[in-house]
Structure 1
Amino acid sequence: MMPHVQLPGHAAGWTSKDRAAVAAGIGDVCRRKGFFFVHNHGIPADLIRNAYVEMQRFYQLPLAEKRKYDATEQSQFLGYRGLGRERSRTHSGTEACEQYRIGNTTDELALPSSVDFYHAHFPKSLELFHHLTHLGDGILAACALDMGLAENFFTGYLDSPLHRLGLNYYGASHPSDVGSTVGYAMSPHIDLSLLTILDQDEPGLEVRDSDREWLEVPTVPGALFVFLADYVQRWSNGLHRAAPHRVSAVRRDRMSIQYKHRPDYGVVVRPLDTLTGPADPPTYAPLNTGPDYVTALRAILGR
């Protein structure tokens, strides 16, 4: 059964008491499962619907037009990832979906001539992105409290965060279009982020429970699905569990909105001293959210 958590309204207005209440609500779930639905999040439903409208409009454009927004290292991976562009993490083929990324960039790397170029088709999605950023901050503060840390512990790692919003399209014909020989449209993986917040217009997302069983994530009107990712698991030395996930082979066209909450470029994520010791040695190696992340994206996208 999927865990469900009631939030105290929009995260931009949460008090310390509110964050403590959220920590109490998600603490056990973060330790045992790493995923849950959130209700009463305060993000306007119309804004989410409008983001889907923008997404559908973009994916209906001719391929030549979509390719003008090609995601490359030079765009800091903002923009369009065409069908078959992303290599699978688990098999020799490619992922059966089209993707688009909007969000923040860093001054640590070369910037595209105009970031606005990559956001031009998605004004409502960009507005949604800012709402999800508040929600991500609030949930991360609650995670910190459950770890026995100050609620603002992670704030120092979020001065210029590389949060991203993924707008994903899984066409019913995409698996055959890329010659897929597997029973899923997106390979099993754990996100390189702190946490991910997701909405989907059709079922398809699956998460792996602690007993290694794959569970279908239903569509729940008015709720958003949250799952923890690599960086929280690594920082907490496994106290909080990252959720492996995949997308099943879809039966009809499916879209999803996938927000990833990320720290600054170049932050070294390693198990915290307060959560390690002789009885609990570090079980995760340090990971640099700058070069290590870029290397991972190069391997997935191939250029």
Structure 2
Amino acid sequence: MTDRDFQSVPVVDIADLASPSPEARRLVAERLGAAAREVGFIYVTGHGLSETLFQDLLVAARTLFAEPLERKMDWYIGRSANHTGYVPEGEEVFASGKIDRKEAYDISLDCPQGDASAPMLGANLWPDLAGFKQAVSAYYAAVAALARRLFAGFALALDLPEDHFEPHLTRPPSQLRLIHYPFDAVPSPDQEGIGAHTDYEFFTILRGTAPGLEVMNGQGRWIDAPPVPGAFVINIGDMLEAWSNGEFVATSHRVRKVAEERYSFPFFATCDYHTVVAPHPRFVGPGRPARYPPIVSGEHLYAQTVRTFAYLKARGVAAAEQAAPAFGQAARRAERA
């Protein structure tokens, strides 16, 4: 492991992950692995997704968030059975007690049949806005396919079989968030767009429209990660950190306060709800004990969601308690202190 004292986020062209050549795919995987170990954040180009998909998504988001609040509350996330729908400002409250300056709309894998044992699976709560479902569904499908390619790339980067994660990708409750940071001419000096955190899933695939994202390096300094035209930002999440026993780190990040209006579209790529995540034997041995207890992937996600969302607290929902450790760069620095 390195000190990760990086000053910028690396760019990796992943076009050859689709190459018929195993050697070409492995070369890309090596670059992904180096970035995941040294930074935990990566700009990826060569992904093959049409820019039209993103522009259609952006139009759908702008149309939705321009609606009056009373109308948006018709699709309030608290009306859903599987945590999908509109998230007004103030709905999410993190451990610090601060309220993020944003509104959002959450979409997951659309499973009309649901699953009583997996509370994040079910039918999406779709707004009745012309073209919204079509644009968002098309983007979700495309970025979910990209996530499968990246799962294969990360498996190779960890010197595991390319299809290592495939058995755990039958019905993953990966979530797409449409986030709107409204214009604020004079933002409060103590108010962030989103406070410092790590992502709960395996990795995140992000597109945004304006600067604001910052990444914490190994020395605790915040490094700017502005949008790169046509590129996605990929960051490692808690579950991939645990799976690799800290080989990859779920790097802490935040959205700083900015005056301009901003849209952001993170896709939180994960495995099936009941996947048990524990350090792979390849990363455990003499002098390198398992740093993470077994964690049920979906239960970790749901437990964090219950702690954050007001509507779930109001329902008195209890999430399964798991002995999950702290994740991210801040936790690694605390260990070294």
Q: 2:124 aligns with which of 103, 109, 115?
A: 115
Query: In the alignment, is the contact (CA less than 8 A) between 1:31 and 1:240 conserved in 2?
Result: yes
Alignment partner, residue 11 of structure 2? 4
Alignment partner, residue 199 of structure 2? 191
> Following superposition of structure 1 onto structure 2, how do residues 276-291 of structure 1 map, counting pairs within 5 Å?
276-291=284-299
Structure 1 residue 109: deviation in Å? 3.9
> Following superposition of structure 1 onto structure 2, how do residues 149-188 of structure 1 map, counting pairs within 5 Å?
149-173=160-184, 182-188=190-196
> Following superposition of structure 1 onto structure 2, how do residues 1-303 of structure 1 map, counting pairs within 5 Å?
1-8=8-15, 13-15=18-20, 17=22, 18-72=24-78, 74-89=80-95, 91-104=96-109, 105=111, 106-107=114-115, 108-109=117-118, 114-115=123-124, 117=126, 121-173=132-184, 182-302=190-310, 303=312
**Structure 1 residues 28-57: Cα deviation after superposition (integer angstroms, max 9, x where no partner):** 111111111111211111111111110000
Query: In the alignment, is the contact (CA less than 8 A) between 1:160 and 1:264 conserved in 2?
Result: yes
* SS state at 1:256 partner: strand
**Structure 1 residues 213-253: Cα deviation after superposition (integer angstroms, max 9, x where no partner):** 11111121111111111111010000012121110002111
Distance 1:186 1:119 in 2: 28
Instruction: Give % identity.
Output: 26
Alignment partner, residue 328 of structure 2? none
Distance 1:239 1:203 in 2: 29
Structure 1 residue 66: deviation in Å? 0.8
AA of the residue aligned to 1:165: L
User: Matched residue pairs, number?
Assistant: 297
* SS state at 1:75 partner: coil
Query: In the alignment, is the contact (CA less than 8 A) between 1:71 and 1:78 conserved in 2?
Result: yes
Structure 1 residue 16: deviation in Å? 5.9
Structure 1 residue 73: deviation in Å? 8.4
**Structure 1 residues 102-145: Cα deviation after superposition (integer angstroms, max 9, x where no partner):** 12155234689853635863321221111111211111211111
AA of the residue aligned to 2:11: H
| Compared CA separation, residues 118 and 282, structure 1 to 2 (3 A) | farther
Identify which range, 147-156 or 108-117, moves more after superposition. 108-117
| Compared CA separation, residues 273 and 41, structure 1 to 2 (3 A) | same
| Compared CA separation, residues 129 and 14, structure 1 to 2 (3 A) | farther
Structure 1 residue 101: deviation in Å? 0.9
| Compared CA separation, residues 123 and 270, structure 1 to 2 (3 A) | same
Query: In the alignment, is the contact (CA less than 8 A) between 2:205 and 2:235 conserved in 1?
Result: yes
Query: In the alignment, is the contact (CA less than 8 A) between 2:39 and 2:217 conserved in 1?
Result: yes
AA of the residue aligned to 2:51: A
Unaligned runs of 5+ in 2: 1-7, 313-337
Structure 1 residue 280: deviation in Å? 0.7
TM-score (norm 2): 0.82
TM-score (norm 1): 0.90
Distance 1:66 1:35 in 2: 33
- Larger RCO, structures 1/2 (Cα 8 Å, 6+ apart): 1
Distance 1:119 1:280 in 2: 53
Structure 1 residue 183: deviation in Å? 4.3
